[in-house]
Amino acid sequence: MKNLLALLFIAALAALLLYVVANMPPMGDPENPTATHVIPRYLEGAEEETHTVNVITGIILNYRGYDTMGEVTVIFTALAAALAVLGRERRGRIYAYVDRSGVPSSVIVRTMVRFLVPLIVLFSVYTILHGEISPGGGFQGGAIIGGSMIVFTTIFGLYESSRRIPQKVRFPLEGAAVMVFFLVGVLGMVGGGDFLTYAWPKAAAALHPALVTWLTVLVEIGIGLGGAMVLTSILFCMIREEEEIAVVA
């Protein structure tokens, strides 16, 4: 009886979903709402207007620069909220992280993590720097570094990982994303345009492609570093124990 009811419910749900899918606009139709409003303008004008090969990067960092700046601020606010609740570690101290799992990590896992984490970080550097011309970018690269730090910290403990990324490196870089975005925006105003203008009107037109490329890469690096440090700081403040075990040399 119960099975029959469940089966009937699933059948009704499937019928509803199939009905909705049947009424969706066909895939790849040029009459679709997504393809008729603002996308044609982006696809046609991105190459000349933003001087980026990758249209996605052009849209995210150039056409919708304000939106991305807001996202960066959201990430920074998340760190601020986590620190407001859990508190920042005292300057120059290293805190203990007690592995309560009961099963210490084995030699195989330790060796593999030690072997893989540098390669993961290398891949994230590639993702950040190549984001201008291929899929990827600052957000993804920063998240990859944050993920590698989570793996490293759970296996080797907070002491080892906060020796690798000490506080005095994390503090200035946490705001890197917001600061770099703001700096590039103000530079656009200095160059004679509006806030977040990549191609400065005062600069020679021949310089525009190179200028836009370098500013975009700068913003990508800022987002990547800032995101990675924010994730690492949130991880550290969530994972640490109350007592300090060592003073940083």
Q: In angstroms, what is the minimal distance from the CB of 106 to other proteins? A: 6
Min dist. Cβ of residue 108 to other proteins (A): 6
Question: Which residues on adjacent β-strands are paired with residue 95?
Answer: 244
Q: Which of 101, 204, 206, 243: binder of other proteins (CB under 8 A)?
A: 101
| Minimum CB distance to other proteins, residue 129 (Å) | 18
CB atoms < 10 A from the CB of 39, how many? Answer: 14
The size of the interface with other proteins (CB under 8 A), counted in residues, is 11
Distance CA 162, CA 156 (A): 10
Q: Which residues pair with 94 in a beta bridge?
A: 246
Stretch binding other proteins (CB under 8 A), from 42-50, 104-112, 190-198, 201-209 = 104-112
246 binds other proteins (CB under 8 A): no
Residue with tokens 């700081």: 233
Taking CA atoms, 44 is separated from 11, 35, 57, 97, in Å, by 45, 12, 15, 53
User: Does residue 230 sit in helix, strand or coil?
Assistant: helix
Distance in Å, CB of 202 to other proteins, minimum:
42
User: Which lies closer to other proteins via its Cβ, residue 34 or residue 101?
Assistant: 101
For other proteins, which is the closer residue by CB, 3 or 23?
Answer: 3
Of 230, 222, 137, the C-alpha closest to 180 is: 222
Nearest Cα residue to 218 out of 234, 203, 196? 196
Shortest distance, position 150 Cβ to other proteins, whole Å: 15
In the complex with other proteins, the residue whose CB is nearer, 120 or 239, is 120
Residue placing its CB nearer to other proteins in the complex, 23 or 101: 101
Output the DSSP codes for 168-201: HHHHHHHTHHHHHHHHHHHHHHHTTSSTT-SS-T
**Of 33 and 102, CB closest to other proteins:** 102
- Looking at 30, 102, 205, 206, which residue binds other proteins (CB under 8 A)? 102
105 binds other proteins (CB under 8 A): yes
Q: Give residues 111-170 in contact with other proteins (rule: CB under 8 A).
A: 112, 115-116, 119
Helix (H) or strand (E) holding 63, with range, is none
Query: If binding is defined by CB under 8 A, does position 238 make contact with other proteins?
Result: no
Measured CA to CA, the distance from residue 42 to residue 64 in angstroms comes to: 11
Q: Which residues bind other proteins (CB under 8 A)?
A: 101-103, 105-106, 108-109, 112, 115-116, 119
